[in-house]
C-alpha cells in the first residue's frame, strides 16, 4: 500500500514563480499526494493563484492567513497535513520530474527510515550554482555522525528532505526567527532513529538576490549563529569533522562581531593546524594564539582596509 505524501508550499510574493513551482509538484508521477498551499497574507496576486490551483486540482488545497513569516506558514501546513510523510517546497523553487516517485519507492521499501535527504541544485540560475549530491547512499543511526561526518550542518534545508510526519508531533519551526531550518533540523534529528540519503530526485533551489541568505544583516546572522554555538557548546567531539564545523561557525561569529559589535558567544576551542593549508591554517593559528575576540577585531580591520582600496 502506497503512503500518502503531504507537500507544504508556503506562498509569499512569488506570483512570477508560483505556477512553475506548483506545476512541478502536481506533475510528479506519484499518485497519493496532497499539496497544501499556505498563502501567508501575500499582497500580490498569489492568493488568487492559490485558489485557482485548488479549484483546478482536487489534490491541492489553499490556506489563507495573515502574514506570519515562513515558519508560521510551514507550521500551518504541518497542522493541515494528512499524509504519512511530509515535505516542503518554497514557492520560488521547483522539482525535477520523477523526484517523489523515486523517493517514496525507497521509503516504501524501507519504512524504518525517518528522514530521507535527496540532491539539490543550490543557487540555481546564478554564478554560485552548484550540485549537492549523495552518490553513495548512506544510512545513519547515529545522528552525531550525520551532523558532523555528513556535514548536515551545511545543508540543513527543509526542502530537500522527506520526513515521517510523526517527527513533527512535538516539533514546529520557530516563528519570528531567520534561518529557521538550522534551528529545526537538530530537533527533528532528536526524534529520528534512522536518517538516509538518496541519489535520486532533484530539488532546484533557485537563487534569490533579495532572500535572507543574500541580505542577512548582523541581527539576522546572530539568529544563524545561536543554534550552531549551542551545538558546539554541548559537543564533546574533537575530531577532524568537528574542526571543519567549528571553523565554519567561527566565520559566522566573526561576521556577527563585525556587524554588531557584540561579544563572541562561540566557545573558544583551539583547533589543530597540522593538516591545514593556506588561509584556513593561518586562521586557526591566529585563533589559537589570539582567541576569538581579538581575531574578530583583526578580521574587521582587514575588511575595512579592503573596502577602502
pLDDT digits (tens, 9 = 90+) for 150-208: 999 999 999 999 999 999 999 999 999 999 999 999 999 999 999 999 999 999 999 87
Instruction: Say what the pLDDT of residue 211 is.
Output: 53
Q: Tell me, what's the pLDDT at 214?
A: 52
pLDDT band with cut points at 50, 70 and 90 for residue 304: confident
The pLDDT of residue 279 is 87
Bridge partners of 120, per DSSP, are 132, 203
pLDDT at res. 210: 58
**pLDDT value of residue 2:** 82
With CA atoms as reference, report the closest residue to 9 among 80, 57, 101: 80
pLDDT at 215 (0 to 100): 58
**Residue 65 is inside which H or E element, if any?**
none
pLDDT at 309: 59
Contacts 24+ apart (CB under 8 A), 284-290: 284/247, 287/250
Torsion of CA 159, 164, 169, 175, to 10 degrees: 0
Average pLDDT value over all residues in the chain? 94
Percent of the chain at pLDDT exceeding 70:
96
Mean pLDDT of 109-134: 95
- Model pLDDT, residue 177: 93
| Per-residue pLDDT at 38 exceeds 90 | yes
For the entire predicted model, the pTM comes to 0.93
pLDDT in the model for residue 308: 65
Amino acid at each position: 500500500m502506497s503512503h500518502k505524501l503531504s507537500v507544504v508550499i508556503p506562498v509569499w510574493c512569488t506570483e512570477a514563480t508560483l505556477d512553475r513551482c506548483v506545476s512541478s509538484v502536481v506533475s510528479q508521477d506519484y499518485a497519493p499526494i496532497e499539496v497544501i498551499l499556505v498563502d501567508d497574507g501575500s499582497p500580490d496576486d498569489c492568493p488568487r493563484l492559490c485558489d485557482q490551483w485548488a479549484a483546478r486540482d482536487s489534490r491541492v488545497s489553499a490556506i489563507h492567513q495573515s502574514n506570519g513569516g515562513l515558519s508560521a506558514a510551514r507550521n500551518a501546513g504541518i497542522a493541515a497535513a494528512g499524509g504519512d510523510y511530509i515535505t516542503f517546497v518554497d514557492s520560488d523553487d521547483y522539482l525535477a520530474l520523477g523526484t517523489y516517485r523515486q523517493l517514496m519507492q525507497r521509503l516504501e521499501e524501507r519504512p524504518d527510515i525517518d528522514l530521507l535527504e535527496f540532491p539539490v541544485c543550490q543557487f540555481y540560475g546564478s554564478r554560485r550554482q552548484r550540485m549537492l549530491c549523495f552518490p553513495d547512499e548512506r544510512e545513519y543511526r547515529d545522528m552525531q555522525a550525520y551532523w558532523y561526518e555528513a556535514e548536515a550542518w551545511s545543508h540543513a534545508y527543509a526542502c530537500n528532505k522527506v520526513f515521517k510526519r510523526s517527527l513533527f508531533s512535538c516539533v514546529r519551526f520557530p516563528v519570528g526567527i531567520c534561518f529557521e531550518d538550522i534551528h529545526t533540523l537538530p530537533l527533528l534529528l532528536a526524534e529520528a532513529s534512522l536518517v538516509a540519503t538518496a541519489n535520486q530526485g532533484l530539488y532546484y533551489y533557485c537563487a534569490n538576490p533579495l532572500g535572507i541568505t543574500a541580505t542577512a544583516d548582523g541581527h539576522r546572522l546572530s539568529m544563524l549563529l545561536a543554534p550552531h554555538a549551542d551545538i558546539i557548546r554541548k559537543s564533546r567531539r574533537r575530531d577532524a569533522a568537528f574542526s571543519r564545523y567549528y571553523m565554519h561557525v567561527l566565520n559566522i561569529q566573526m561576521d556577527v562581531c563585525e556587524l554588531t559589535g557584540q561579544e563572541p558567544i562561540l566557545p573558544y576551542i583551539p583547533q589543530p593546524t597540522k593538516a591545514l593549508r593556506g588561509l584556513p591554517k593561518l586562521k586557526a593559528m591566529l585563533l589559537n594564539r589570539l582567541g576569538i575576540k581579538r581575531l574578530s577585531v583583526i578580521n574587521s580591520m582587514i575588511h575595512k582596509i579592503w573596502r577602502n582600496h
